[in-house]
Amino acid sequence: MSRRYHPFPCDEGPSADVDSIVADAGLPGPSPVLGILPSYNAAGACEQPKGSPRIVGGNDAKNGSWPWQVSIREGSNHICGGSLIAESWVVSAAHCFNGDKSAYLVNLGEYQLLNPSESLVSFPIKEIYRHPSYTDIGFSGDIALVELETPVKFNSVIRPICLPASSVEFPSGMECWVTGWGDTQYGGSLTAPKTLQEVQVPLIDRDTCNSLFNTGSYPDDPQGINPIKQDMICAGYPQGEKDACQGDSGGPLVCEWDSAWLLAGVVSWGVECARPNRPGVYILLPPYADWIQGYVPTIPFTVRSMSVMQLNSAGASPLGALRNILGASPIHTTLKQTKRIGGPLGLLRALSHCLVCLCLVPALPAMLLLVVAVPMIL
């Protein structure tokens, strides 16, 4: 099974209510865009950062730098990637699994496919749970939970990735990472010894990505307009160059957020690899947090705040990312319908039905003032 291509209703994660936003705004932490609860993880296992950073347009990763990366095997063949999220659980793509669970193995601690290391451990699969909304003729719901027969023992090269809570939103422009053993070009396999690849790509919001997919045409384009659905996010460049490819399906799209690595998405589909105006498409994790917790009730989810300084360091425009955050959540849709007030403090939007207003100082792009106001009608 390779990364899925053409030819050929998912829920968005719930946003916090206004009361919780106001209450959380006083919590300690780095200059919050929205006052959001800090992360928690009982063992702290997923808090570890990767090693020195370095698919299509990617580079060899360092051994152990992505300790949650798994290789899913069908027989002796690598078919898909995945991410370790708990001692007995892996997240991958639903389209990776068409056969009986006994046909697959999950390899952890793997680095070079043709040069097995001493850290490599293989696990039979106890059960595969594909999301009920997934169908072979659609792309939404392309996510699966894989339960291992026996628990994993964590070590320096085998550790889980943190999961974002349903309220977490990843801003457009944020620089994230994709890893896998897939093709390094469309139709071109990874060369021996088949070392794990990594590539850094910026996130692209759904509306922008749909606009790109509606530009020009390729033989394998999806049918209809706006193929990027609510449970998807894109990553890459309009000009192409860097992308996931065949064999990377199910693998992780991870973002460093407040010193922790979060699993933002799962490699799902694309049109060839790294084509202009056709960035890679990923299934978002936050919309499926509740579904995952239904199977793994003890797993912790991370809710983090993102500071403007962090957006700068991640390569995202502070104002652009903030606009994206505000525009993406249902609770903030009134921003597009309210009045803009000028003045020395620059952009100020008065919300007619919300308690939280935001004010940016143009001369100080890293400064964000959170203003709590009473409801008002302008």
pLDDT digits (tens, 9 = 90+) for 24-33: 333 333 322 2
- Over residues 354-373, the mean pLDDT reads 36
Q: With bands split at pLDDT 50, 70 and 90, how would you rate the model's confidence at 131?
A: very high
- Is 70 exceeded by the pLDDT of residue 364? no
Catalytic residue among 24, 65, 92, 95: 95
CB 309 within 8 A of CB 365: no
Instruction: With cut-offs at 50, 70 and 90, classify the pLDDT of residue 1.
Output: very low
Q: What is residue 202's predicted lDDT score, i.e. its pLDDT? A: 94
Residue 178 pLDDT exceeds 50:
yes
In this structure, the number of other CB atoms found within 10 A of the CB of residue 337 comes to 10
Between residues 277 and 109, the one the model is more confident about: 109
What is the pLDDT at residue 196?
93
Which residues, 6 or more positions from 119, have their beta carbon under 8 angstroms from its beta carbon?
A: 64, 109, 110, 111, 155, 157, 158
Q: Which of 39, 249, 268, 305 is catalytic?
A: 249
From residue 364, give the alpha-carbon distance in Å to each of 146, 171, 309, 340, 369.
47, 20, 11, 20, 11
The question of whether 249 is a catalytic residue gets the answer yes
- How far apart (Å, rounded) are the C-alpha atoms in residues 182 and 194? 9
Question: Of residues 24, 78, 92, 142, which has the active-site annotation?
Answer: 142
Measured CA angle at 74 (ends 129, 221), to 5 deg: 75
Is 317:173 a contact under the CB 8 Å cutoff?
Answer: yes
pLDDT value for 26:
37
**pLDDT for residue 102:** 96
What does the pLDDT read at residue 113?
85
pLDDT at 115 over 80: yes
Q: Identify the pLDDT of residue 237.
A: 85
The two three-digit tokens of residue 321, written as one number: 């990312």
> Mean pLDDT, to the nearest integer, of 138-159?
95
Beta bridge partners of 90: 84, 146
* Averaged pLDDT for residues 318-338: 36
What is the rounded distance in angstroms from the CA atom of residue 132 to the CA atom of residue 359?
42
Most confident of the following: 89-103, 177-191, 266-280, 323-337: 89-103
pTM of the model: 0.68
- Active site (annotated) includes residue 131: no
pLDDT on residue 192:
76
> What tens digit of pLDDT does each residue of 36-60 get?
333 334 344 565 544 433 345 567 8
133 is catalytic: no
